Amino acid sequence: EKQGFKHFMLKEIYEQPGVVRVCLEAYTNSTWEAGQTTPPVNLDLDPSLYQDLQHIQILACGTSWHAALVGKYLLEQLAGIPTMVQYASEFRYAPAPLMANTLVIGVTQSGETADTLAALAMEQERRANLEPQFSPRLLGITNRPESSLGNLVDNIIDIHAGIEIGVAATKTFVAQVMAFYALALELAYRRHTLPESRIEEILVGLRQLPGQIELVLESQERYIEELAHEFGETQDFIFLGRGINFPIALEGALKLKEISYIHAEGYPAGEMKHGPIALLDAKVPVVAIAMAGSVYDKVLSNAQEAKARDARLIGVTPMDEKEAEETFDDLLPVPVVEELLSPILAVIPLQLLAYHIAARRGLDVDQPRNLAKSVTVE
């Protein structure tokens, strides 16, 4: 069943190019070009979800919450809709004041996470019997449309990732982010917030991702496996990112914590100097996600500040970047893509790093201690 891979997690990491292809096939019109009358994206959702939409509220836990943070960036930047993302477990006990014309999205791979289901049910209940602009509009993003989530909400985006056995989510994270690209583009098209030529450009970029993920897997895995040997005694890691890649820093840290039991923190790189920089010394490696785009130079200078504290610096960087080669001790290069598309490539080396550090320590990667695949209790 593991098809020659040592663990399900590694097999699932390698399934990601295929998952991205399936999502693109399911969500987008492969022959669409700017100016065509049929829409570029079709998610088969009830049109009432989109009507007069003013806000989006996303509820999720764990890795799904990280996907939601990438989603917020896409929905705000592409479709211009103010979007809030909250942990379902927090929202339940301190819900935001009711806003009119709000799409409430629950993101849950399993469709069974108790807190996410309860937060959505609560939202449905408190919006019932109010004036029409407050009535509930619920959407689920899940890998299991036949789950409890499916019973609760009428509209679902299926992430088509196939069953995921490793407790640490990998391919389902990438698929959730794909669902958010599709939703953001669908809304941008309907609301005319982007020129059609820009939508076409993003779709062309998305279609190149599967091949680019394959390239990262082929070119990086052996190197990362070797690199993992160097962290046999390491007790703490810091992951830095900014903008659309801040959630990727959180996700890289979560993967490492879950399966290697190493303490790891994800930070927005610009926040380091407000406290966490005090943690740094030669024993704490820093992984910085420095993708081409609006914050590239900023992340590099944040990384240099860490280097000045003797931290070992690992950079997830665009391929062939001379400046990055000078800054980092170790490079995990990914193909150059526009910033908007970079999270899906940046997360791959971080998944491999967490995997190989844990496997090297001889840990039970697929069934880490204290964790269950879905958390069905509060």
Active-site residues, by number, are 373
Q: From CA 38, how far away is CA 334, in angstroms rounded?
A: 34
- If residue 55 lies in a helix (H) or strand (E), which one and from where to where? strand 55-60
Q: How far is the CB of 293 from ligand M6R (least distance, A)?
A: 26
Q: How far is the CB of 108 from ligand M6R (least distance, A)?
A: 3
Q: How far is the CB of 331 from ligand M6R (least distance, A)?
A: 26
**Residue 253 to residues 131, 264, 289: CA-CA distances in angstroms?**
43, 5, 12
Indicate the residue among 280 and 365 with the shorter CB distance to ligand M6R: 365
Indicate the residue among 159 and 244 with the shorter CB distance to ligand M6R: 159
**Residue 35 to residues 187, 189, 197: CA-CA distances in angstroms?**
17, 11, 8
Q: How far is the CB of 252 from ligand M6R (least distance, A)?
A: 11
Indicate the residue among 61 and 300 with the shorter CB distance to ligand M6R: 61
In which residue are the tokens 């619920």 written?
138
Q: From CA 245, how far away is CA 274, in angstroms rounded?
A: 19
Residues that bind ligand M6R (CB under 6 A): 61-64, 108-110, 113, 116, 167-169, 258, 371, 374-375
Q: Give me the long-range contacts of 159-164 (CB less than 8 A, separation at least 24).
A: 159/23, 159/109, 160/19, 160/22, 160/23, 160/26, 161/15, 161/19, 161/109, 162/15, 162/19, 164/8, 164/12, 164/109, 164/373
In which residue are the tokens 């098209």 written?
189
Task: Provide the CA 328 distance to its chain's centre, in angstroms.
Answer: 24
User: Nearest to ligand M6R by Cβ — which residue?
Assistant: 62
Task: Give the DSSP letter string of 106-150.
Answer: EE-SSS--HHHHHHHHHHHHHHTTS-GGGS--EEEEES-TTSHHH
Q: How far is the CB of 275 from ligand M6R (least distance, A)?
A: 25
> What is the SS3 assignment for 47?
helix
Indicate the residue among 79 and 262 with the shorter CB distance to ligand M6R: 262
Q: Of how many residues is the chain composed? A: 378
- Beta bridge mates, 102: 55
Nearest to 282 by CA among 314, 310, 313, 315: 310
Q: How far is the CB of 218 from ligand M6R (least distance, A)?
A: 24
Nearest to 56 by CA among 145, 148, 243, 186: 186
Residue 130's CB is within 10 A of a number of other CB atoms, namely 12
Burial of residue 97 (number of CB atoms within 10 Å: 0-12, 13-18, 19+): exposed
* DSSP symbol at 329: S
In which residue are the tokens 């998944």 written?
351
